Amino acid sequence: MAHTMMRRPLLIGSEIYRASTYGRNHPLAIPRVSTALDLARALGAVPDGAYRDSPRATIDQLARFHTRAYLAALEEVERTQRVSDEVRRRHQIGAAGNPVFREILSRPATACGGTLLALDLLAEPGIVYNMGGGTHHGRADRASGFCYLNDPVLGILTLLDRGFRRVLYVDLDAHHCDGVQDALSHDERVRLISIHEAGRWPHTGAIEDSGGGFARNIPVPAGFNDTEQDFVMAHAVLPLARDFEPEILIVQAGADALEEDPLSRLALSNGALWRSVVALLEVAPRVLVLGGGGYNPWSVARCWAGLWLSLNGIEPPARLPPAAEAVLRAVTWSRSAGRNPPDPWFTTLADPPRDGPISDAVRQAVDTVTRRHIV
């Protein structure tokens, strides 16, 4: 069903993201959801009735995937802001890039609550965008990759509980969705397709890796450009998606595959990501779009606000109006790239196209993944 035939898209966010930070020197010290929401509002793209405030998922809801012991540990750490050696070792809280911070349970539980709310809203066909979601590395009993909980897994399990038989998950983040694959790739009711940087943490998602089941992984090389993204979508992702005939689609639209991101070596423009998500809208009557990675505050905000415009069929302005520019000029970033940002990071929404040749590695990955296709 074409997205133009659906009801108006809905946007989910929360004020919890505005003041929450993982700590001064962490990649997630930056504002992301709040800036993207402010930018979309400054563009006049969030009309009355389009926005929903995210609830916080309850412990019982989170326990559909996460262990009670782990959730209890997160509750205690949020209360005390301290972590024992045993909890650190057992649950990776306060270790391996997963710091103790003030909203260590409340923030990820809000992301999960947004995804669960989105699924309620998708009882009828439509599009819902939960910007704070996409925490695809979280494990049942431990934190991983800046993700304390896993809202995609929680959402998919909820759909299966409700009787859905064909759930498609497409992940466009620069980092492989290892937590989702390990939890769900054995279930024939779920198909997972991931485009991610080869050799990048978490060092999973090789081309031959099906997760022991129904995952399809498309690792791509450093320098991956817009032309290559369009090629992968047209010749691998979209054919695989259409053949599965999903009842519902979940797209993780992390912004860390963009050229300016410090945690990948991919080279996409935000327009390539927007095109990819919009192209996928026709494969299912119900579509949930999630956020994900992204560690340059300007590129994330511009990407996610622009994605919201794209979901609504709105062309981005050639130059941002003063109110939108002011949102971006209010952002600071402690990394070296943030000391003298280029003017287009403040004045434009759409990146210039980053076209280029299609590498042999990309062609081979597409050929391999389509030959291994399972309907």
> Catalytic site residues?
137
How many angstroms from the chain centroid is the CA of residue 84?
Answer: 31
Question: Among 157, 177, 176, 181, which residue's Cα sits nearest to residue 167?
Answer: 157
Residue 149: beta bridge partners?
A: none
What's the token pair of residue 43? 């563009």
What's the token pair of residue 195? 């485009």
User: In whole angstroms, how far apart are CA 8 and each of 4, 11, 304, 309, 365?
Assistant: 8, 10, 17, 12, 36
Q: Are the C-beta atoms of 351 and 270 separated by less than 8 Å?
A: yes
Q: Three-class SS of residue 350?
A: coil
Cα angle 375, 272, 313 (rounded to 5 degrees) comes to: 90
Q: What is the spatial distance between Cα 366 and Cα 274, in angstroms, rounded to a whole number?
A: 20
DSSP string, 26-61: SGGGS--HHHHHHHHHHTT---TTSEEEPPPPPHHH
Q: Are the C-beta atoms of 174 and 254 separated by less than 8 Å?
A: yes
User: In whole angstroms, how far apart are CA 283 and each of 129, 246, 360?
Assistant: 17, 7, 28
